[in-house]
Structure 1
């Protein structure tokens, strides 16, 4: 029974979250043939300010501080 966890930025509408989960279930079924009834999806929503992507924090490039 597959468990798929997705970490996403907060802000999707309830309808969009539901569609995302339906799409993930469908793709998983198509990819590995699991019965959709046993596919589990967990969405973890995080505030955008708690997410750093490609060393960018709140849209700004991270600047390493010199230590020592």
Structure 2
């Protein structure tokens, strides 16, 4: 049988992945960092001041 290239591709091991992204908070922080590497910027007005709207299943940033 040939080697499964998907299974053996380079990247994070499962323990490394879980260490970085294992909880909801870690995953959300990583997504925010990927979306706004220099900090939040409003896509409409380019402002940096925001509030987080609570009581939703996901984070909502409001300028």
Query: Could you tell me the TM-score, scaled by structure 2's length?
Result: 0.28
**Bigger strand share:** 1
Q: Which has the higher contact order (CA 8 A, sep 6+)?
A: 1
Query: Could you tell me the TM-score, scaled by structure 1's length?
Result: 0.26
